[in-house]
Structure 1
Amino acid sequence: MGSPRSALSCLLLHLLVLCLQAQHVREQSLVTDQLSRRLIRTYQLYSRTSGKHVQVLANKRINAMAEDGDPFAKLIVETDTFGSRVRVRGAETGLYICMNKKGKLIAKSNGKGKDCVFTEIVLENNYTALQNAKYEGWYMAFTRKGRPRKGSKTRQHQREVHFMKRLPRGHHTTEQSLRFEFLNYPPFTRSLRGSQRTWAPEPR
């Protein structure tokens, strides 16, 4: 039997390996993954406070005043890592939702910066909060009138930062069923030649 000291050493070594693995996963979730295949989703963001949907307009304005099915409310959400970090852009305009150093939501044509990355946080009430990756603790938020609220004035428990994901009107999750084409082959008749049976086409 091994000594208690060797058993304790093995246990400590095992715990160290687990800690290093957990740290690696945590660090990788904070780094943009350029190699993995990114997942792209399409949905609307319903604001809990305004009762409308987030939209990105052509004049680079962002608000939560769009009705269900509005073309500017259709959002393309791209995963940034294997975790829950995403980039959100308007499907109609191609502009990304970003946050500047003052906490104001702005629209950019180039969404590669960390200020255009948000972490999706699923809350206990089944709503989703979007925390900016560059300015930790600052969230995407809108007032009751649908106007953007500065991220520096937001907290996770506030209704202004709560959103619900909705599919755009007329958008289906399943692909359309495939159409099959049937080819018309000429009918075959059976003929006997000696002891062998062969298949031959019927005469026209």
Structure 2
Amino acid sequence: MLQIFSLCKMQHPFHGLFSFCLHQIFVAEENVDFRIHVENQTRTTDDVSRKQLRLYQLYSRTSGKHIQVLGRRISAKGEDGDKYAQLLVETDTFGSQVRIKGKETDFYLCMNRKGKLVGKPDGSSKECVFIEKVLENNYTALMSAKYSGWYVGFTKKGRPRKGPKTQENQQDVHFMKRYPKGQVELQKPFKYTTVTKRTKRIRPTNPS
């Protein structure tokens, strides 16, 4: 509830004294759904903060294999450590928006207007941007930033599902991040510098 106060001064009609009146105005404030604000900010690309580049694999819950970017063709049939399953993921520090590129082919994982997963050599289009969602079961889902409600998904045979046929609660769209065998995270962890309290220096006393 937002309260606005105004103060007015008026003269009494029978004598010269001034009296003051205080008006209190109540303005009803509409309920604001903060989730809408978060979703709007999530869809906004962060062009100011430093980008993070990570190298990992995406393990498909349904196929039991990893996503592969085979040029223009996409599948989820990659074994652990497969060169086509190694993905370079560029993330914004705010918004959880990512661009996913195959390390071996330099093609980006994208979703076209028909909801089909395709590989493209140029990842600047919004069709190649996905929003990471960490689910309650600790799996990750990738929703298209351009086509809301459409997710990256695969069948048990590792074939891509079309975006319109996917939902967040389907196992087909659930993935787990895994680092390739022998690989470590590209992004180095931030190291904190420990500052100790400076002790007072004691000067030696001169002998008398």
Shorter-chain TM-score category?
A: 0.7 to 0.9
Q: What residue number does 1:120 align with?
A: 132
Report the secondary structure of 2:127's partner residue.
helix
Distance 1:81 1:26, change over 3 A: farther
3-state SS of 1:160 partner: helix
Larger strand percent:
2
- Cα distance change on mapping 1:31 and 1:47 into 2, 3 Å: same
Is 1:169 aligned to residue 194 of structure 2?
no
Do structure 1's residue 43 and structure 2's residue 56 form an aligned pair? yes
Q: CA deviation at 1:82?
A: 1.3
Question: Are 2:57 and 1:54 aligned?
Answer: no
Cα distance in 1 between the residues matched to 2:176 and 2:151: 15
Do residues 78 (structure 1) and 71 (structure 2) align? no
> How many aligned residue pairs are there?
167
Distance of aligned partners of 1:35 and 1:149 in 2 relative to their CA distance in 1, 3 Å threshold? same
Structure-1 residue corresponding to 2:198: none
Moved over 2 A (4+): 21-29, 172-175
Please tell me the residue identity of whatever aligns with 1:61.
R
Q: Is the 8 A contact 2:66 2:76 kept in 1?
A: yes
Mapped partners of 2:176, 2:135: distance in 1: 11
2:62 is aligned with what amino acid?
Answer: T
* Aligned residue type for 1:102: K
Q: Distance in 2 between matches of 1:157 and 1:24?
A: 23
Give, in angstroms, the shift of residue 24 of structure 1. 6.8
TM-score for both structures, normalised by structure 2: 0.71
Q: Distance between the aligned counterparts of 1:133 and 1:5, measured in 2?
A: 41
Distance 1:22 1:55 in 2: 33
Supply the AA of the counterpart residue of 2:77: M
* AA of the residue aligned to 1:100: N
Q: Would the aligned equivalents of 1:32 and 1:81 in 2 still touch at CA under 8 Å?
A: no
Structure 1 Cα separation of the partners of residues 110 and 52 of structure 2: 19
| CA RMSD, Structure 1 to Structure 2 (Å) | 2.8
Q: Residue 51 of structure 1 aligns to a residue in which SS? A: coil
The alignment's TM-score, normalised by the length of structure 1, stands at 0.72
Matching residue of 1:148: 160
CA contact (8 A) 2:49 2:92 kept: no
SS at match of 1:146: coil
Residue identity (%): 58
Conserved 8 A contact 2:75-2:160:
yes
1:129 matched residue in structure 2: 141
The amino acid of 1:157's aligned partner reads: N
User: How far apart are the structure 1 equivalents of 2:91 and 2:179?
Assistant: 17
Q: Deviations over 1:23-57 (max 9, x none)?
A: 77654432222222101111000000000000111
| Correspondence for 1:64 | 76
